[in-house]
Amino acid sequence: MKFEGKVIKYGDNVDTDVIIPARYLNTSDKKELASHCMEDLDTTFAGRVQKGDIMAAGFNFGCGSSREHAPIAIKESGISLVIAKSFARIFYRNAINIGLAILECPEAADSIEEGHIVEADLDKGIITDKTTGREFKTEPFPEFIQSIITNGGLVESIKNGSFK
């Protein structure tokens, strides 16, 4: 799987309360969730995000609540991939389970700036900042997790019998 997009960048400890504030959790409608995505951190996000954009962030991205509404809102907003220095563990699972691509790469997350054009190859674990020309290598996911992602998430993996 390959992605290319423009970067929207945030800092450390972006929590699920700012990704999607709990006051909007009285719905699970994806479009409605996406319309409030990042609202308490960046009121301009929902208006400027373009399909295919890549989100970059610092340490512990997605910390806090287990709300799957957070990766759902990000995915539905059009973000194709999140690159962070590290992910909070429930967010990490949820992203994989719903098929939102994520990559953990401290060097890339540090170096990539807002507005840069970035290309990422998930299978090889290679991130290229096309604006600066710098290339970063990260660990590809273990086979077990790659299989969940390529099958389109955990539900699909169970349905087609690949999850054992």
Partner 1 sequence: MGMTMTQKILAAHAGLDKVEAGQLILVNLDLVLGNDITSPVAIKEFNKLGAESVFDRDKVTMVMDHFAPNKDIKAAEQCKMCRDFCGEKDITNFYDVGEMGIEHALLPEKGLVVSGDAVIGADSHTCTYGALGAFSTGVGSTDMACGMATGKAWFKVPSAVKFELKGKLNQYVTGKDVILHIIGMIGVDGALYRSMEFTGEGLHSLSVSDRLCMANMAIEAGAKNGIFEVDDKTIEYVKEHSDREPVVYKADDDAVYDETYIIDLSEIKPTVSFPHLPENTHTVDEIDDIKIDQVVIGSCTNGRLEDLQLAAEIMKGKRVAKNVRTIIIPATQKIYLEAMEQGLLKIFIEAGAVVSTPTCGPCLGGYMGILAEGEKAVATTNRNFVGRMGHIDSEIYLASPAVAAASAIAGKIAEPKEVL
CB 120 within 8 A of CB 81: yes
- The H or E element containing residue 108 is helix 106-111
Stretch of 20-28, 76-84, 106-114, 124-132 lying at the interface with partner 1 (CB under 8 A): 20-28
Q: Which residues pair with 127 in a beta bridge?
A: 120, 136
What does the alpha-carbon distance between residue 35 and residue 39 come to, in Å, rounded to a whole number?
9
Span of 3-11, 13-21, 109-117, 124-132 interacting with partner 1 by CB under 8 A: 13-21
Quick note: the x/- pattern for partner 1 over 81-120, rule CB under 8 A, is: -----x-xxx--xx--xx----------------------
Reading the block at residue 126, the tokens are: 């290679």
By CB under 8 A, the residues from 145 to 164 that bind partner 1 are 145, 153-155, 158-159, 163-164
* Among 1, 2, 11, 27, interactor with partner 1 by CB under 8 A: 27
Q: CB 64 → partner 1: shortest distance, Å?
A: 6
Q: SS3 for 73-88, per residue?
A: HHHHHCCCEEEECCEC
What tokens appear for 19 in the block?
A: 């990704």
Is residue 6 classed exposed, middle or buried when 0-12, 13-18 and 19+ CB atoms within 10 A define those classes?
middle
Least Å from the CB of residue 16 to partner 1: 8
**Contact at 8 Å (CB) between 116 and 7?**
yes
Residue 133 or 143 with smaller CB distance to partner 1: 143
Name the site residues for partner 1 (rule: CB under 8 A): 13, 15, 17-18, 21-23, 25-28, 40-41, 59-60, 63-69, 71-72, 86, 88-90, 93-94, 97-98, 142, 144-145, 153-155, 158-159, 163-164
